[in-house]
Chains A and B, each alone.
Chain A
Amino acid sequence: MQLFVTVVRQSFEESDGEFVIHNGRGPTAVIAGVGASPQGKFPGSTDLSLATQAVVALLDDCGIAKDDIDGLLTMPGTTSHEPAKHYLELGEHLGINPKVAGSLQMGGATCGALVQQAALYVDAGMAEAVLCVFGDAAKTGGSRFSAAPGRDPSWKNWGMFGNAANSAMGATRHMALYGTTSEQLGWVAVNGRRNASMNPDAVMRTPITIEDHQSSRWIVEPLHLFDCCLITDGGVAVLVTSPERARDLRQPPVSLLGMGQGHTLETLAKKDWWYLPHQQDCISRAYRMAGLSPADIDVAQLYDNFTISVLFWLEHGGFCAPGESGPFVEGGTRIALDGELPLNTAGGNLSESYMQGWLHVVEGVRQMRHAAGVRQVKGAETCMVTGRGMTLNTSSCLILGKTS
């Protein structure tokens, strides 16, 4: 740990006009356990009951004793009644008294950000087994994702409603500039469903076609229903710990090769906001930490609140040139399990469950354990996991690695 800190301090260097960590390695901390509750609609469930189910599943997954958990980082759900105090309530339900704790809400970027925070705690020696947890009863709780976005409700004056609207804005301009088509977006949905059909835990498992995608209703043009994520109840937990502690647990640890974040808090005032330029910065930072490039990524779980989001990630991650993500996904072969970049191998937000990116991390871990069953990408040793949230404005990236 001390060695890592020293290396990081010595390796700050100026690159592309900003100071970055460029050490060719991430933290020593690893992901040693994952757990998820059943996903779907569960009347009577709450964000906290689902989160505790996920923790119980995680304990079973990796065999750590509850009393050995000394960190609790949580993300409140859309149905959490007092989000800022979420960790307090969850900690009471779990009966733990951790050394470090807190709650963070960055939407779909939160899981990645909390795993990063946990890894820094572990590397700094402030805690040794940090639990990251999310739960939400969005389906039974009737969470509405059609509220007017923006800083205040003022965007409602122009009839701007719903989480889909912001992403739809980006889709329209991408289509106009590059000739991207709705059918190309459809291939992201078809791919997600194809993978979900092989995932017994997925909520939507019946394969769909491009025709199904095209004939599904408009949510907001140019996005159809099948361009949009599900709304589900569920909980997810991830355990970050030291390699030493991981050795005593059941599962092979998964390395954190690279970590990055990027945020556009200016929103509309940021040049080319529609294109989410912070995502490119976010992934670049993770590449630099890992000392890796796009060609080194074997499988990716790219945040898919909407299909267009995946196209942006592909360009921001350097998997194709700007404007070429439509042709990249078209036909679905490059992004299939046996393609050059297998994508969202468990079905993603679109078909597995809308756990706001938390299950993307779980699937990344399973792929790096080589425990994804029929969905396993053969020989995969690296997995990129991205997340994005809060209108369009937050992003996080993890590059996971298989340990030998």
Chain B
Amino acid sequence: MSAEFTPIPAASELSGPFWAAGLDGVLRLQRCNSCDHIRFPLDWICARCLSSEYEWARLSGRGTVQTFIRFHHAYDPSWEDRVPYVVALIELEEGPVMISNVVGEGALDVRVDDPVEVVYELKNADATLPQFRRTQVR
């Protein structure tokens, strides 16, 4: 069963497609039409070539855990029922580094360089939160 998710800040023209991407289970990030650079965080301009033309590229959703941290304390009341939880920097197969969570089986025992794949468990009608799960739980 999926829990509710509403993005912060509210989805905009720039971020809407990112948050909606997971509705069909596919991670999408902006790819520059001029230099093919795939970027994160979201931006209206390509920081590599300064072109503002882009498309939403379908990514494999696979990556590795570059590093991670474990929160044992909720610094916002909305996270109280989720501690302890893992926040990670995910190095995507296509290159960009994304901030996200590691969730699911063995999440709290995650290690640096673990392979992971995207998963969408939190959603509402027009937004989902991309998180990652370990593909090889040791």
Asked if A124 is an interface residue, CB under 8 A from chain B, the answer is no
Chain A 245-280, CB-CB to B under 8 Å as 1, else 0, gives: 000000000000000000000111100011000000
Which B residue sits closest to A272, measured CB to CB?
Answer: B66
**Which residues on A sit within 8 Å (CB–CB) of B104?**
none
CA distance A267 to B47 in the complex (A): 11
Q: Is the CB of A176 within 8 A of B72?
A: no
Q: Is the CB of A165 within 8 A of B67?
A: no
Asked if A347 is an interface residue, CB under 8 A from chain B, the answer is no
CA distance A89 to B99 in the complex (A): 39
Q: Is the CB of A165 within 8 A of B69?
A: yes
Number of contact residues on B: which range applies?
35 or more
CA distance A218 to B72 in the complex (A): 7
Q: Is the CB of B112 within 8 A of A176?
A: yes
Asked if A168 is an interface residue, CB under 8 A from chain B, the answer is yes
Q: Is the CB of B97 within 8 A of A268?
A: yes
Chain B 112-138, CB-CB to A under 8 Å as 1, else 0, gives: 110000000000000001010000000
**Which residues on A sit within 8 Å (CB–CB) of B70?**
218, 220-222
Q: Which secondary structure dominates chain A's binding surface?
A: helix
Min distance, Cβ A17 to any Cβ of chain B, angstroms: 19
Size of A's binding interface in residues, CB under 8 A: 34
Q: Is the CB of B97 within 8 A of A221?
A: no
Q: Is the CB of B112 within 8 A of A172?
A: yes
The residue from B15, B76, B113 contacting A154, defined by CB atoms under 8 A apart: B15
Listed residue (A146, A152, A154, A170) with the most chain B CB atoms within 10 angstroms of its CB: A154
Stretch at the interface among A19-27, A155-163, A188-196, A375-383: A155-163
- B: residues with CB less than 8 A from A are 5, 7-9, 15, 39-41, 47, 66-73, 75-76, 79, 82, 85, 87, 89, 96-101, 111-113, 129, 131
Can you sample 20 A-B contacts with CB below 8 Å? A150-B41, A150-B99, A151-B41, A154-B7, A154-B8, A154-B15, A158-B87, A159-B79, A159-B87, A161-B79, A169-B67, A169-B69, A173-B67, A173-B112, A176-B111, A177-B112, A218-B70, A220-B73, A221-B69, A268-B40
